[in-house]
Amino acid sequence: MRRGLNGLPEGIRSVKRVYDEIHGYIELTSPEVEIVDTPTFQRLRYIKQLASAWYVYPGATHTRFSHSLGVMHVMGILATKLYQEGFISSRDDVQLLRIAAMLHDVGHTPFSHAIEPYYANLDPPMTHEELTRLIVLRDPYIRDALERNGFDPWSVVAILEGRYREPLFNQLLSGDLDVDRMDYLLRDALHTGVIYGSIDVHRLIATIMVDREGSLAVAEKGLDALENFYLARLHMYRAVYYHKSIVGYELLLRMIYERLMELYRDRPTVALLRTAQGVRRIVEEGRLYFWHDNWLLGLMVEALEEDRVDEETRELIKAFLFRRGYKVLLDHSRFSDSELDEDDEDVARLYEISRTLRLRMRAPAIAVTVFVDDIPIITIEEAVRVITKDGSSISAYNHPRSLIRFMPRRLHVKRLYVLAALHPTASRILSMIRV
Amino acid sequence: MARYSDVAALLKALGIKIEGDDLRNRLVVQKVVYLAQACFGLDLGYKFKWYSRGPYSRGLGREFGRIVKSMDSGGGELEWGRVGEMRMFIDRLRRIGDDEAEVLEIAASLAMLCRDIYPPVQDPVAELLRRKGFLKKEVVGRVWEVVRSVCCLGTGGEH
């Protein structure tokens, strides 16, 4: 194998290898093995990368663990290339970047994006990024593994937060074309079977350069691969990340989590998980290992058997466990070049219909719900730059031969969901309203 | 009031016009909000990373259209005690160069270099010139004179 294609520059020794379904052998150095072996990192084995997407795509059971190793590997390949080309000055920096990459998702909650809004809405809030920072700096296992191997946890945090002193390092992990996206598009496309979500990662890496301003850019000859990357992302938003049924199950999980946090507030662990300060305490005591998808599923199963759990919560849990969750009744989603208006007529109408349905069906508030999101596909400031033949670089969004300039800039998701059991009734009422 | 409405009100209070959706106007909004948060303590809740043109908030970039719309409809009033102080700061920056966007970009970049970048940067002017070799040293130096006293005194500690 050519040096660098295994993700390690000459002089950095692998002590272990793991076989990965995307990249083949992933080499691990001694500090990386120490981090992987911590209870905090092992937790990622029990958090699925795509939360409840396996309800729609049965193969989508891959985890944050394999993704984290994949991101580290892609970072290794790209950083080694940049090191060989003189844009990264030392091998130690390649190692630091690999470690930052492997830790970038360590702060995900159980079921990731489904549950994270619960924590973002706390007072004070706790976002996924804040939790990651807390774990790197305060989790005794991760912090000790870093410090024992001579790595400054603050440097790792600075890279993860995009404010490290070497600006190139920030772009590698949090730019439009970053190693996180390169791995998750490949991995999610493979496991869902959505083949048009895949990308040519080797072509992308081979054509990535650094422009005159020190920013990551793609050579003109890599334009096809770059276009494919943006198109793949767009397809994955629509076919997977915002798939109607997957979003429905994530809404359901969020509601169940809120209720279980309230119902079990007298349990010491749940009492801690209800506040940002409590989560902080769990992290600092090195007890985060239990907080994953399986823990939440166990709590849900337990709740079904408990008398104190109200009937409505039980119905929600059954709807999730037995795959009888929300079904879309109306979907006005569409692409757009502008942001979604706050007074969007479609959205107002969906809320109006949801109120009418609740009244006519005499159903509880949870029976009908509206989901609205405004997803940026391309943002002018973030668009990857393309290096032209004269050596200058321009935004891919402005490149005269690029398809990217014709792509929609946003996806507006506007949907009305009804619990599956009530869907036939709701459909009948809806047809009467429309008449 | 939504935070993007606060941004629109801030820009209006500072006398900054945003007309049209282009990179220049987007940069101006980014840099003004960064300076307001970092140097004047206005808590709008945006998180900034270092991007190719200095401090950049993805969340703010996503709300640009709403900010412009809010400004077009007259914008609200911002109840914030340091508006006058920040307006004087922006006026001092404007006197340095004709290109308002460029001066703001330099100011916000210098502020981020002295406040948020880790490991700490000893000489923000030299570091900015290293990162953006096309900038004029004399202009960067003059902007630094304005930024240093307002944004960079007493920085350090937890990064």
Give domain limits for chain B: 3-151
Task: Work out the minimum CA distance from B90 to partner chain A, whole angstroms.
Answer: 23
Q: Which residues pair with A219 in a beta bridge?
A: A387
A282-288 long-range CB contacts below 8 Å, 24 or more apart?
A: A283/A131, A283/A134, A283/A135, A283/A138, A283/A139, A284/A138, A284/A139, A284/A140, A285/A140, A286/A39, A286/A40, A286/A139, A286/A140, A286/A141, A288/A39, A288/A40, A288/A43, A288/A135, A288/A139
Judging contacts by C-beta atoms under 8 Å, the chain B residues touching residue A338 are 65
Enter the tokens of residue A130: 């804040």
Over residues B76-95, the pLDDT tens digits come to 788 899 999 999 999 999 99
**Chain A (370-409) residues lying within 8 Å, Cβ to Cβ, of chain B:** 374, 376, 379-382, 385, 395
Per DSSP, the three-state class of A4 is: coil
Does residue A167 belong to the interface with chain B, where contact is any CB pair within 8 Å? yes
Q: In which element (H, E) is residue A284 found?
A: helix A276-284
Confidence at residue A4, expressed as pLDDT on a 0 to 100 scale: 53
Confidence at residue B54, expressed as pLDDT on a 0 to 100 scale: 94
**Whether residue A351 has pLDDT greater than 70:** yes
Confidence at residue A428, expressed as pLDDT on a 0 to 100 scale: 96
Residue of A87, A163, A216 for testing the chain B interface, max B β-carbons within 10 Å? A163
Q: How confident is the model at residue B159 (pLDDT cuts 50, 70, 90)?
A: very low
Q: How confident is the model at residue A417 (pLDDT cuts 50, 70, 90)?
A: very high
Confidence at residue A161, expressed as pLDDT on a 0 to 100 scale: 97
Q: How confident is the model at residue A435 (pLDDT cuts 50, 70, 90)?
A: low
Task: Work out the minimum CA distance from B51 to partner chain A, whole angstroms.
Answer: 7
Nearest in space to A422 (alpha carbons), one of A306, A292, A329: A329
CA distances from A230 to A198, A227, A405, A409, A413 (A): 10, 5, 11, 11, 19
Chain A residue with the nearest C-alpha to that of B65: A339
Whether the bond into A124 is cis, omega within 30 of 0: yes
Does residue A154 belong to the interface with chain B, where contact is any CB pair within 8 Å? yes
The answer for residues whose C-beta is within 8 angstroms of residue A405's C-beta and 6 or more apart is: A396, A397, A398, A399
Confidence at residue A243, expressed as pLDDT on a 0 to 100 scale: 98
The answer to whether A381 contacts B112, with C-beta atoms less than 8 Å apart, is no
The torsion angles phi and psi of A87, rounded to 5 degrees, stand at: -90, -15
Q: Give the pairing type, strands A410-419 and A326-331.
A: antiparallel
Chain A residue with the nearest C-alpha to that of B28: A381
Average pLDDT of the segment spanning B116-138: 94
Q: Which residues pair with A210 in a beta bridge?
A: A216
Round the average pLDDT of chain A to a whole number and report it. Answer: 95
Enter the tokens of residue B124: 């923000």
Count of CA atoms in the C-beta half-sphere (13 A) of A334: 10
Confidence at residue A220, expressed as pLDDT on a 0 to 100 scale: 96
Over residues A60-112, the pLDDT tens digits come to 999 999 999 999 999 999 999 999 999 999 999 999 999 999 999 999 999 99
Q: Give the pairing type, strands A410-419 and A208-210.
A: unpaired
| Burial category of B129 from C-beta neighbours within 10 Å (exposed 0-12, middle 13-18, buried 19 and up) | middle
Confidence at residue B153, expressed as pLDDT on a 0 to 100 scale: 77
Judging contacts by C-beta atoms under 8 Å, the chain B residues touching residue A376 are 61-62
Does residue A170 belong to the interface with chain B, where contact is any CB pair within 8 Å? yes
**Whether residue B158 has pLDDT greater than 50:** no
The answer to whether A213 contacts B22, with C-beta atoms less than 8 Å apart, is no
Angle (CA) A125 A130 A131, round 5°: 100
Average pLDDT of the segment spanning A208-221: 93
Confidence at residue B1, expressed as pLDDT on a 0 to 100 scale: 67
Confidence at residue A59, expressed as pLDDT on a 0 to 100 scale: 98
Over residues A355-412, the pLDDT tens digits come to 999 999 999 999 999 999 999 999 888 899 999 989 999 999 999 999 999 999 999 9
**Whether residue B45 has pLDDT greater than 70:** yes
Q: How confident is the model at residue B157 (pLDDT cuts 50, 70, 90)?
A: very low
What ipTM, to 2 d.p.? 0.92
- Is the CB of residue A417 less than 8 Å from the CB of residue A371? yes
Nearest to A376 among B22, B27, B62 (CB): B62
Average pLDDT of the segment spanning A189-206: 97
Q: How confident is the model at residue B52 (pLDDT cuts 50, 70, 90)?
A: confident
Confidence at residue B154, expressed as pLDDT on a 0 to 100 scale: 66
**Chain A (177-216) residues lying within 8 Å, Cβ to Cβ, of chain B:** 212-215
pTM higher than 0.90, yes or no?
yes
Nearest to A381 among B23, B65, B69 (CB): B23
Per DSSP, the three-state class of A237 is: helix
Residue % of chain A over a pLDDT of 90: 94
**Whether residue A3 has pLDDT greater than 90:** no
The answer to whether A162 contacts B61, with C-beta atoms less than 8 Å apart, is no
Nearest to A381 among B56, B112, B134 (CB): B56
The answer to whether A382 contacts B116, with C-beta atoms less than 8 Å apart, is no
CA distances from A110 to A52, A174, A264, B62 (A): 11, 23, 17, 27
The answer to whether B65 contacts A339, with C-beta atoms less than 8 Å apart, is yes
Out of A150-164, A402-416, B37-51, B71-85, pick the least confident: B71-85
Chain B residue with the nearest C-alpha to that of A210: B52
Which domains does chain A carry? 16-245+385-408 (1.10.3210.10)
Q: In which element (H, E) is residue B108 found?
A: helix B100-115
